[in-house]
Chains A and B, each alone.
Chain A
Amino acid sequence: MNAVIQLWESLHPLLQMVIKGLCVIGVLFPIGGACSLIERKVSAAMQGRPGPNRAMPIWFAWVPVLGPFLQRVGVFHLMADGLKMFLKEDPLPGHVNKVYFMLAPVLAMIPALTTITVVPFGAYLDAAGHLVPLGLANVDVGILAVFAVGSLSVYSLIIAGWSSNSKYPFLGGVRASAQLISYELSMTLSVLPVFLWVNAPGGEGTLSLFSVVQAQSGSWLSWDGAWFIFYMPVSAVIFLVALFAETNRLPFDMAEGEADLVGGFHTEYGAMKWGLFFVAEYANMMIGSGVFILLFLGGWNPLPWVPLADVATWLHLTDQPIWLGLLSIVIFVGKVAGFIFLFMVVRWTVPRFRYDQIMKLGWQKLLPLAIGNLLFYAIVIAWLQPKI
């Protein structure tokens, strides 16, 4: 183990970053694909059916117990789907604007895989007993980078819709752009109270997501032990609703609109170009829920008032940075998985909104609510924070 650490530290920092980045992408991309299977299975369970449970390579049937089990779970459907997407003909319709048509799916992946750099997904204690975030980059702009890069994803939808040069994709692209821009406002406004609280006057100003989690890592019954969802439920709800809208999930799936727009912006796409849109959508969902968890659900702290550092002391992991790091990642990824499940429950619960209802909800309900919420917390925090 030590030899590995030494080898790692002898590498050039740039090479280290590249390897780390590839690792994160190498995990995120397949999980994005796996989410499509999980979605199929979960949707099936909610509708009282078993879901995909047939595909299996013939020789695998000989493996006792494991073979039938994996078949029931549908793992091979995922592989078959992935293989199909790579191998099938990649159509390039004659009437599209080819450069932008090819560019759009790539553009969809870029924000999804870029925002992950500033999202910490775990933490460990260093030799001095300080919590160090696990992530590609713990930069001070944190949330700002997420919003700035994340909102670029609208370009891929617009470009896909526009370059397809046919009516349904065009409508889907137009709707997507209007929707994403509308909800971005409330989303940004809703997280401001969190940062107002984190950046106490006189302290060091920061927008990093790590510091937000630190502000939720107090010990038993201390002020900062509770997660922000308890202090700022309205912010959390606004952020959550906007998150659904930003990721184009039901009930806000205006951009796709299977029911009325065939497939919306991706109607003309097929094979892996189409697949990239979906992996990007799931990656966006995961990063969005990751940010929600960091902001409002205590990040890698297992329970409110039970911070990771305390758990490390109980489990004697304080001098085991690797195991503690893995534990924190497991906790964080577990929360993200729970969140993805929430996305799916909501999908099969709430019927999709009409387009005008979405605009009304965004501009006339959420935006004033977010502004009022911000003002309220600005006053409360200004009054309360000096006293604590």
Chain B
Amino acid sequence: MPYLVDRKPLTLSERLYLPQILAGMRITMRHFFAPNVTMEYPEQRPAIPANYRGVPTLVKDPHGREKCVSCQLCEFVCPPKAIRITPGAVPADQPDRAHVEKAPKEFEIDMLRCIYCGLCQEVCPEEAIFLQNQYSLSGYTRAEMVNNKERLYELGGTLPDQHLKWDKKKAAAEVRGKAAH
């Protein structure tokens, strides 16, 4: 709503200008002695707030198992087409994941293309891909800037998981199997 601003006539000290400059210089001097607000970056790092959207990473479940089932939803949703997945079978040396249909043979995120939008995290049905705290990323070559599967797991680490979806499925399947017999 429009309203009238009361424009007061300048007082004598304001019209003389110099007292006002002195008052301003007092403020400047206060800032001169005040502590610096700058963070000296490489030595000091900022505290990363919760839900920060940093570099996308792949995470493992609390039992150290791979979560990604290479459904490729993230690959499809990725706006700049930064994700490239080569689907493959679950390796034979992982018996506790034998009931999972697929696993990524290779998983690459091109960080030169990634726009940190977080759609991959949002779309992932397995909660396997997360944008985490890592925000500083650099390299000397283009190839270095492509995170492969190994690197993605290294960056991602392990995150807590309330669902353990495939364990439940397995248990349910076992119950059903027993009932069928």
Contacts and interface: CB of A to CB of B under 8 A. Distances in A.
Interface of A: 42, 45-50, 53, 237, 345-346, 348-350
Given A50-B38, A349-B27, A45 B21 contact: no
Contact of A45 (B27, B32, B40): B32
Contact of B37 (A42, A49, A237, A350): A49
B11 interface: no
B14 to A, nearest CB: 14
Contacts, number: 36
Given A48-B35, A350-B21, 17 more contacts: A42-B32, A45-B32, A45-B36, A46-B31, A48-B31, A48-B34, A49-B36, A50-B36, A50-B40, A53-B40, A345-B28, A345-B29, A346-B21, A346-B25, A348-B28, A349-B25, A349-B27
B1 interface: no
Contacts of A53: 40
A350 B31 contact: no
B24 interface: yes
B137 interface: no
8 contacts: A46-B32, A48-B36, A49-B37, A345-B25, A346-B21, A349-B21, A349-B24, A350-B24
B74 to A, nearest CB: 40
Most chain A C-beta atoms within 10 Å of own C-beta, residue among B25, B28, B34, B35 = B28
B5 interface: no
Contacts of B34: 48
Contacts of A42: 32
A48 B37 contact: yes
A49 B37 CA distance: 6
Nearest to B31: A46
Closest 5 pairs between A and B when the two form their complex, measured CB to CB: A349-B24, A49-B38, A48-B37, A349-B28, A46-B32
B148 to A, nearest CB: 34
Interface in B134-157: none
A49 B35 CA distance: 8
